[in-house]
Amino acid sequence: MKTEQDRGEARCNQVLDAAADCFRQRGFHGASMSELAKAAGMSVGHIYHYFENKEAIIAAIVERDVAEILALLDSLHDEEDILQALIREAGNNLEEATCGSDDALQLEVLAEATRNPKVLAMVRDGDRLARNRLAETITKGRAMRGLAPLADLEARSEIIIALFEGLTCRNVRNPGVPLDAIATVLRSTLQNLLET
């Protein structure tokens, strides 16, 4: 039997999925609260019960994305060789990324962030959490291998994240490129950044 809290969470996720679809298709400004409500199969009042406005929905979408990245990174901490696992997962996620429809949403949120200080603050807060966790993961992974701590850890983490964010852009601009070839070059680039 589901508790009240479970039901509330399920409802929230229902709104977020519908909102994500609407934002992807019509952009953040093109999608109205009444369209979101229709897509979620709820009344507008019901949506306002969970989210104060569209920005609150974006905040929740950003939080959900960050939580996914943190969960992925945390799952690597149990591996015998964290760096190897990070490099392996990078290639796997590449294939997952090209099947998903999240590129459009990521770009929409980022474009909105350049115009909307509230969205910018959410995006930057989430990014801080994710990049710090990546840096911790790299440090732990290197220590396990007996590699020296990195003086340029911050810069290397930035370049690694830039690679992944850039691949989101590439999915839009050039989706036809063979994924296995990309994954191979991506892995060897990560090896250089993580293991040297």
With a CB cutoff of 8 Å and minimum separation 6, the contacts of 34 are: 44
**Comparison of 7 and 26: residue with beta carbon closer to its own copies:** 26
Strand, helix or coil at 77? coil
Cβ distance to its own copies smaller for residue 146 or 176: 176
| Conformational region of residue 90, where left means phi above 0, alpha means psi within -120 to 50, and beta covers everything else | alpha
List residues binding its own copies (CB under 8 A).
24-27, 29-30, 103-104, 107-108, 110-115, 120, 123-124, 127-128, 131, 152, 154-156, 158-159, 161-170, 172-174, 177-178, 181-182, 184-186, 188-189, 192-193
DSSP summary character for residue 9: H
Closer to its own copies by CB, 86 or 123: give it.
Answer: 123
| 158, 54 contact by CB (below 8 A) | no
CB 139, CB 149: distance < 8 Å:
yes
Query: How far apart are CB 97 and its own copies at their closest, in Å?
Result: 12
One-letter identity of residue 131: R
Helix axes of 153-173 and 102-113: crossing angle, nearest 10 degrees: 120
Both tokens of 74, joined, read 């945390």
**Smaller CB distance to its own copies: residue 65 or 79?**
65
CB of 84 to its own copies, least distance (A): 19
Contact 87, 185 (CB under 8 A): no
Judged by CB, which is closer to its own copies: 89, or 165?
A: 165
User: Encoding tokens for residue 123?
Assistant: 């995006």
